[in-house]
Amino acid sequence: MDSSTHRHQFVRVTAASLAAAALALGGALVAAPAHAVGTTIDDAVFRWGLNAEANAAAFAPGTVNLLSAGIVTADSSADRVTATNWKQSDGNTRILKLQADGSYAAATFAGLRTDANGTTITTGNGLNSGHIAEIAGGTGTVDVDAGTAEIQWTGSFTSAFYSGMTRSWITDPKLTVASDGTGTVTATLGGYGTSMDDPDKFEALTPVANVVIATLTGVDVTPTGFTVTPDYLGRTVTLPAGSVAQVTTGSTAGAFPQSFVDFQIATGQGSYWYSSGGSADSRKPASALSVAYTAAPVASTPTVTVSKATGIAQGETVTVTGSGFLPSGTATNGVRPPLAGQFSGTYVVFGKFADTWQPSAGAASSARSVIAQKWAVPAASMATIGGAGSGAIELTADGTFSVDLALTTTEAQNLAAGRFGIYTYAGSGTVYAPFETFTPISFASSSDVIVEVPAWVDAPTGSFGWAFDGSSPASLGTAVQDGANFTASGTLTNIVVTDTRAGGTAPYTWSISGQVGDFASSAGDSFASDLLGWKPKVVTAGQSVAAGAEIASARLGGTGLGTSRVLASSTAAASATIGADLTLVIPGTTPAGDYTAKLTITALQ
């Protein structure tokens, strides 16, 4: 059946199942600690060799598949990449070659025909030249705690097959990594259109932006970068009529992302990027991709807070919390047992110290009259210093601690010189000035009448609610052909959020999400919900309201709306009007019909 003769009608998305609920602000909605602000970087290095086939000997006599820095242009398919126009470097981009010891060095034109050991690559021995493209100077943001990254590079490299009979290039790759370890690399693709059936065809292709050239899973964002092998094995693509069919069985069956393959079909390289049953299939899986950068954590100043610092009654318990007590190399290692040579944490002391008490100022221990003491150390060191019975408290990996201290003094201590306070300083003989803090405290006089008056809190008022600003949540109209796909677009009917809550002590926040079920027709045909994507938008709102992230169709390398995705959220009580632009991308082989799906909107408050 010729799909071009059929139009797909997507009449309406059915009314939402209102799974919204005014959830009680209890244990079910405890906010997680905020992640540290992402680190801005400007030194990221991108390295990728695409796959082994892009560096292998080609079947046309005397030709190879190769990488070149920059964009290597041509006038016809008879033009070749030669020592004259091949480039080892161009701007931020370099081509590097794998060496016998596993390192990389600047590539040479002659090295395009040998492997790391200097053996000439041939179609018979299956060796490849081991080249990668490196683009330096990437800029963006990395949040190691959240596991996210967004980095943009400026630079191009050319992938030429048969020494340039067919060629394409990748420009300005962009990496995006989500907190669940998934990610994409997008780029602008350019090249020349060729055809094995028409040797004379050679035409410049219009560059295509935001093409997904790699999808990633299992990315571990570290302070120095990561290496990951892009998805290929087990992935399938939809191909236009007349293309070499994909073979989906075998240990190396798979494909590069759909949008990347779509572009390469126009260059004549299509089947080099998915398994087609040929001898080259074992060389087609994606090669490892690496990203390196420096995302050193921002230095944090040690800080101590005390729940109550004045008018303290004898025997009253206060809570002492600290943050920023992080190790700093050998400077925070102990110099005497029990933590000699290890991170020694910090003492947390209630005492009466002299005006000059700090070890870093050379003060003797006699300047520090200790009344009660705890020792905050990593959990692994607590037993070493005697455990909780000896005053050990946990200093967490993020440099925080919390401890309750009952504050009691004697008459002699009251009369002695010095200042009462909560003090911290490095343990196990370490002298480290940043850990030396002092929080003054004072006790109530025996003649004082003590009463604690809390801050006035207004009674909670107002309410929260939402509704569609219309009778139908969305209509995608009639799908149209777009290459190998059908596409349809529309707009989610605006959702009006009314939030008049005020008073009380609870934080008034909200989040609205959406999820779509699978599409089905009256004829019994269906397609997956993740083929629908959206781009949320805030139509009107206060500064506390933010739109959710754009979610692309799975057909375009995204995750789609098959699972719940945030449409918008607010960090404070705020009314708003929110919406989204909808995009549906489905295979051209989808049977014709009128399809509907259920949209479920969920509101959390």
Average pLDDT score over residue span 240-249? 94
251 DSSP 8-state letter: T
Tens digits of residue pLDDT in 334-343: 999 999 999 9
Confidence of residue 411 (pLDDT cuts 50, 70, 90): confident
**pLDDT tens-digit series, residues 246-286:** 999 999 999 999 999 999 999 988 999 999 999 999 999 99
- Which contiguous run of DSSP H or E holds residue 139? strand 131-143
**Which of 302, 270, 317, 260 is closest to 434 using CA atoms?**
302
* Cβ-contact 219, 248 below 8 angstroms: no
Q: Which residues make beta-bridge pairs with 485? A: 482, 587
Per-residue model confidence as pLDDT tens digits over 44-81: 999 999 999 999 999 889 999 999 999 999 998 889 99
Residues counted in the chain: 605
Determine the average pLDDT of the residues in 205-230: 95
- Cα distances (Å, whole numbers) of residue 110 to 82, 121, 123: 10, 12, 17
| 546 three-state secondary structure | strand
What is the predicted pLDDT for the residue at 506?
Answer: 78
The helix/strand/coil state of 592 is: coil
Structural contact between residues 345 and 432, judged by C-beta atoms closer than 8 angstroms: no
- Joined tokens for residue 118: 């200097």
Rounded Cα distance, 597 and 532, in Å: 10
Return the C-alpha torsion angle 144, 145, 147, 151, nearest 10.
-40
Q: For residue 450, what pLDDT is reported?
A: 61
- Give the Cα separation of 47 and 183 in Å (integer): 16
Looking only at the bridges linking them, the beta strands covering 14-18 and 225-228 are unpaired
d(CA 192, CA 173): 19
Of 188-202, 214-228, 360-374, minimum mean pLDDT range: 188-202
Kindly tell me the sign of the dihedral angle through the C-alpha atoms of 401, 402, 406, 409.
Answer: positive
Residue 340 in tokens: 């000699």
Q: Is 419 in contact with 355 (CB distance < 8 Å)? A: yes
In DSSP notation, 55-105 reads GBBPSSTT-B-EEEES----SSTT----TTT--SEETTEEEEEE-TTS-EE
Q: Residue 256 in contact with residue 285, Cβ under 8 Å?
A: no
Q: Are 474 and 494 in contact (CB under 8 A)?
A: no
Phi first, then psi: give them for residue 165, nearest 5 degrees.
Answer: -60, -35
Look up residue 498 and give its two tokens.
């009314």
- Say whether pLDDT at 33 is over 70: no
Burial class (CB in 10 A: 0-12, 13-18, 19+), 164: buried
Mapping DSSP to helix (H, G, I), strand (E, B) and coil, where does residue 458 land? coil
Q: Per the structure block, which two tokens stand in for 222?
A: 């570290």
**380 contact partners, CB below 8 Å, separation of at least 6:** none
Average pLDDT (2-28) is 28
d(CA 605, CA 497): 12
Best CA proximity match to 599, nearest among 526, 537, 522, 514: 514
pTM of the complete model: 0.50
> Could you say which DSSP state residue 204 is in?
E
Q: What are phi and psi of 267, to 5 degrees?
A: -80, -10
Tokens representing 50 are 């695409």
Q: Are 302 and 424 in contact (CB under 8 A)?
A: yes
Dig out the tokens for 271 from the structure.
Answer: 């089947």
Q: What share of the chain in percent tops pLDDT 90?
A: 77
Question: Torsion over CA of 208, 261, 190 and 229, rounded to 10 degrees?
Answer: 100
DSSP code of 529? G
Tell me what pLDDT residue 517 has: 93
Cα separation values, 386 from 43, 359, 379, 382, 566, Å: 45, 24, 12, 7, 48
What's the one-letter identity of residue 98?
A: L
Supply angle C-alpha 388, 394, 400, rounded to 5: 150
Name which of 104, 103, 161 is nearest 283 in CA terms: 161
What is the chain's alpha carbon radius of gyration, rounded to the nearest angstrom? 32
The reported pLDDT for the residue numbered 200 is: 77
CA distance 267 to 260: 11
CB atoms within 10 A of CB 603: 20
3-state SS assignment for residue 367: helix
pLDDT attached to residue 28? 25
Mean pLDDT of 523-528: 94
- Among 146-155, 182-191, 290-299, 507-516, which stretch is predicted with the lowest mean pLDDT? 290-299
- pLDDT reported for residue 15: 31
Q: One-letter amino acid identity for 61? A: P
Of 128-132, 501-505, 551-555, the one with minimum mean pLDDT is 501-505
- Lookup result for tokens 């330096």: 136
Partners of residue 298 on adjacent β-strands: none
Which of 53, 84, 114 has the alpha carbon at shortest distance from 270? 53
d(CA 421, CA 318): 12
pLDDT (0 to 100) of residue 32: 27
Summarised one tens digit per residue, pLDDT across range 436-452 is 999 999 998 765 566 77
Q: Residues of the chain with pLDDT > 70: what percent?
A: 92
Whether pLDDT at 194 is above 70: yes
Q: What is the mean pLDDT of residues 207-216?
A: 97
Beta carbons of 38 and 298 less than 8 angstroms apart: no
pLDDT at 25 over 60: no
User: What is the distance between the alpha carbons of residues 566 and 511, in angstroms, rounded to a whole number?
Assistant: 7
pLDDT beyond 70 at 353: yes
pLDDT, one tens digit per residue, over 83-133 is 999 999 999 999 999 999 999 999 999 999 999 999 999 998 989 999 999
| Residue type present at position 462 | G
